[in-house]
């Protein structure tokens, strides 16, 4: 609740003061990152989800104000993306037990176009991880079959659809950030397409 309140207040400040607050944004992101390391020590799933919900409040506002951030660089952006990558990589590949992957991908997408941009190799590794995390999930039919009730089955299918939608949004965000990456995605330079490499690895 504290983190949620802090991110909400920071978001309101960003909206009210518009471009002026961006000189302090990297410090704000550092505090948000510090809060995770200080307060989510046990890696509790519920706490992680609460943290991601709070961070989403802030990143949603940032994504709507990014045109004001031109000329600024926010190194803590990369640290927060690294944290999201860590959370995604810790999730099981054979089940969809929580919305952590979906929320983490949305947060990364919200950071699109904020400097510094990802390096090409970082972007490729990020997509490789997210593709693998989503493609290895059980199908909708399996999720429905394994559920203990119709309500659980529907909840699992809804989460599956939201997760695949977040993957698409992440891909679009990265393509917007660095359009030339399409060569790496599609293998137009004579290399294996990224999707094929993911599926066979």
Domain boundary assignment for the chain: 2-200
Give the confidence band of 38 by pLDDT, cuts at 50, 70, 90: confident
Contact yes or no for 58/29 (Cβ under 8 A): no
The whole-model pTM stands at 0.84
Residue 175 has pLDDT above 70, yes or no: yes
- Neighbour count for residue 61 (Cβ, 10 Å): 19
Contact yes or no for 100/45 (Cβ under 8 A): yes
- Which residues lie across from 73 on neighbouring strands? 115
DSSP state letters, 58-72: HHHHHHHSGGGGTT-
Residues 68-78: tens digit of each pLDDT: 566 677 889 99
Residue 158 has pLDDT above 80, yes or no: yes
Regarding predicted confidence, which is higher, 19 or 196? 19
């Amino acid at each position: 609740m504290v983190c949620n309140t802090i991110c909400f207040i920071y978001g309101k400040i960003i909206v009210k003061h518009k471009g002026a607050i961006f000189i302090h944004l990297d410090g704000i992101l550092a505090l948000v990152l510090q809060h995770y390391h200080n307060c989510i020590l046990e890696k509790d799933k519920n706490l992680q989800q609460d943290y991601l919900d709070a961070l989403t409040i802030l990143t949603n506002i940032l994504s709507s104000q990014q045109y004001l951030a031109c000329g600024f660089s926010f190194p803590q952006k990369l640290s927060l993306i690294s944290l999201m990558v860590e959370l995604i990589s810790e999730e099981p590949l054979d089940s969809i037990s929580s919305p952590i992957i979906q929320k983490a991908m949305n947060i990364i997408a919200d950071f699109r176009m904020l400097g510094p941009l990802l390096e090409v190799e970082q972007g490729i590794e990020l997509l490789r991880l997210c593709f693998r995390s989503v493609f290895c999930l059980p199908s909708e039919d399996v999720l429905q079959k394994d559920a203990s009730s119709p309500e659980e089955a529907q909840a699992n299918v809804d989460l599956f659809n939201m997760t695949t939608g977040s993957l698409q949004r992440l891909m679009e965000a990265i393509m917007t950030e660095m359009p030339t990456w399409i060569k790496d995605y599609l293998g137009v330079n004579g290399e294996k397409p990224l999707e094929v490499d993911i599926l066979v690895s």
